[in-house]
């Protein structure tokens, strides 16, 4: 369900640039290496064109030594001093000196390599991107990664990294794209994560807990994916501090409760909002009717109730509206016939009169007898970061049926 991201354009452009540069720089590096080695035979006999590539050789050889499974032989040619010819290694001139070649990118996506990351990776101080998606790397991230002052993209997704949130990534001054999804990180998210100038934050499908931090002050992210963690608590009204940048917010299956704050409607650039598979209660905030760019809205598998407002159904860009498995009792205006307006929708398992596949009268009656007043509602779950307090009791009859979650290999997009 992912839409086109601004960050993906940046990512793709950067990768294309590096590939283009590496194509020419590999030839250049080979010539330069030969020339330098030929010249230095009469001096220091160094096979490396510059000290940066010598450090890169040390780092990559150290990494190869701690790789204990490489079924596709990605690193089989990681031999000898010509590191720019290594598979998955891309070289280019650094921004501070166009006359030399350095290792600027590492892309081992889909290599199925098992191993861990050695301290020597900190020697690759000119890296602009690291892509390690879909491998079997494990352990914790080395603190020496803090030396990578030019790192723009860090993709560690779909591996076996463990431990608390890797604080070392917060020390990377150039980082714009952070992807930690589908690992085994655990514990709370640091509030500092949302004070960095990141464009994309993917922390979904880990073991993060506590609550989602509320200090979204100054955050510049256009895409934030918290899905499939165990945060709990409420969604902070401070989410409105993302208003100038945020285009996609995915909170699927994060154990959130309480009412959906009206401040969500302040995110005027939002294209995708997914809060499904949580414990949200109360009505749909009318402020969502102001999200003129919204294309996909998913409220499914919560305990929300009340009216489905027409203001949401007539949003000009809306393509998909899912509000199944809630307790909505009425649809205003065109909400009753979204198909005629070209909107894909799912309204099953609500309390909508004369609609098929709705809840039983007994379930719906329980919801009607326990209306939620969001002005007085408080939720529990955590010690900070949300609207905290005692939790209003919810009848067991109102609890939504859990939807099965996709495994990493089946998950679409980036959720």
Distance CA(199)–CA(7), nearest Å, equals 6
Residue 137 is encoded by which pair of tokens?
């790397």
The sign of the torsion formed by the CA atoms of 20, 24, 30, 32 equals negative
Give the Cβ contact number of residue 409 at 10 Å: 8
Question: CA dist 45 to 27, 39, 84, 99, 286, Å?
Answer: 21, 8, 19, 21, 73
Give the Cβ contact number of residue 339 at 10 Å: 8
Predicted pLDDT at 218? 67
Distance CA(277)–CA(402), nearest Å, equals 7
Distance CA(340)–CA(354), nearest Å, equals 18
The sign of the torsion formed by the CA atoms of 314, 316, 320, 321 equals negative
Q: Which of 183, 191, 172, 227 is nearest to 415 (CA)?
A: 227
Sort 347 into a burial class: Cβ within 10 Å, 0-12 / 13-18 / 19+.
Answer: buried
Predicted pLDDT at 401? 39
Q: Which of 169, 369, 163, 377 is nearest to 262 (CA)?
A: 377
- How are beta strands 67-69 and 114-115 bridged, if at all? antiparallel
End-to-end Cα separation, the chain, in angstroms: 9
Residue 403 is encoded by which pair of tokens?
């939807």
The number of CA neighbours under 13 Å toward the Cβ of 44 is: 7
What is the set of domains in the chain, with CATH numbers? 1-175 (3.80.10.10), 188-401 (3.80.10.10)
Q: DSSP string spanning 9-76?
A: HHHHHHHHHHHHHHHHHHHHHHHHHHHHHHHHTTTT----SSHHHHHHHHHHHHHHHTEEE-TT-TTT
Residue 197 is encoded by which pair of tokens?
């100038």
Predicted pLDDT at 28? 32
Distance CA(132)–CA(109), nearest Å, equals 5
Predicted pLDDT at 44? 54
Q: DSSP string spanning 319-353?
A: -EEE--SSEEEEE-GGGGGGGGGT-EEE--SS--T
Distance CA(190)–CA(347), nearest Å, equals 37
Q: Which residues contact 117 (CB under 8 A, 6 or more apart)?
A: 63, 66, 137, 139, 141, 142, 145
Give the DSSP letter of residue 292. T
Q: Which regions of the chain are under pLDDT 70? A: 1-44, 218, 378-415
Question: CA dist 241 to 219, 264, 375, Å?
Answer: 7, 10, 21
Q: DSSP string spanning 360-414?
A: -HHHHHHHHHS---TTT--B-SSSSSS-BSPPPP--GGGPPPPPPPPPTTT--TT
pTM for the model stands at 0.82
| Structure confidence by residue, pLDDT tens digits, 123-133 | 999 999 999 99
- Are 152 and 15 within 8 A, CB to CB? no
Predicted pLDDT at 379? 60
The helix (run of H) or strand (run of E) holding residue 311 is: helix 310-313
Predicted pLDDT at 342? 95
| Structure confidence by residue, pLDDT tens digits, 375-385 | 887 664 433 33
């Amino acid at each position: 369900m992912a839409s086109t991201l601004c960050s993906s354009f940046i990512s793709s452009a950067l990768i294309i640039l590096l590939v283009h540069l590496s194509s020419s720089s590999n030839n250049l590096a080979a010539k330069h290496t030969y020339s330098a080695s030929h010249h230095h035979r009469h001096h220091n006999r160094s096979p490396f064109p510059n000290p940066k590539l010598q450090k890169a050789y040390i780092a990559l050889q150290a990494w190869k030594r701690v790789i204990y499974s490489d079924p596709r032989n990605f690193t089989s040619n990681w031999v000898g001093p010509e590191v720019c010819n290594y598979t998955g290694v891309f070289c280019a001139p650094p921004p501070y000196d166009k006359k030399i070649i350095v290792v600027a990118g590492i892309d081992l996506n889909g290599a199925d390599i098992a191993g861990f990351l050695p301290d020597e990776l900190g020697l690759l101080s000119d890296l602009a991107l690291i892509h390690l998606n879909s491998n079997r790397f494990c352990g914790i991230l080395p603190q020496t990664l803090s030396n990578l002052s030019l790192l723009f993209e860090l993709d560690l997704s779909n591996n076996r990294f463990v431990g608390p949130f890797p604080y070392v990534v917060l020390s990377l001054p150039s980082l714009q794209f952070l992807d930690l999804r589908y690992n085994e990180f655990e514990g709370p998210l640091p509030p500092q994560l949302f004070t960095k100038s990141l464009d994309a934050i993917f922390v979904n499908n880990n073991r993060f807990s506590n609550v989602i931090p509320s200090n979204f002050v100054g955050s510049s992210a256009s895409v934030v994916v918290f899905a499939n963690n165990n945060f709990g608590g409420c969604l902070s009204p401070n989410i409105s501090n993302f208003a100038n940048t945020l285009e996609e917010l995915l909170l699927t299956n994060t154990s959130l409760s309480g009412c959906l704050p009206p401040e969500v409607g302040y995110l005027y650039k939002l294209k995708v909002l997914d809060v499904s598979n949580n414990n949200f209660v109360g009505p749909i905030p009318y402020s969502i009717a102001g999200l003129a760019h919204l294309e996909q809205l998913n409220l499914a598998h919560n305990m929300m109730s009340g009216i489905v407002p027409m203001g949401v159904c007539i949003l000009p860009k809306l393509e998909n509206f899912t509000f199944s498995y809630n307790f909505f009792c009425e649809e205003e205006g065109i909400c009753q016939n979204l198909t005629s307006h070209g909107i894909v929708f799912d309204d099953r398992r609500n309390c909508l009169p004369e609609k098929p596949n709705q809840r039983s009268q007994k379930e719906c009656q329980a919801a009607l007898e326990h209306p939620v007043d969001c002005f007085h509602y408080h939720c529990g779950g955590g010690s900070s970061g949300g609207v905290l307090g005692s939790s209003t009791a919810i009848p067991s009859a109102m609890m939504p049926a859990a939807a099965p979650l996709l495994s990493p290999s089946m998950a679409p997009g980036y959720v």
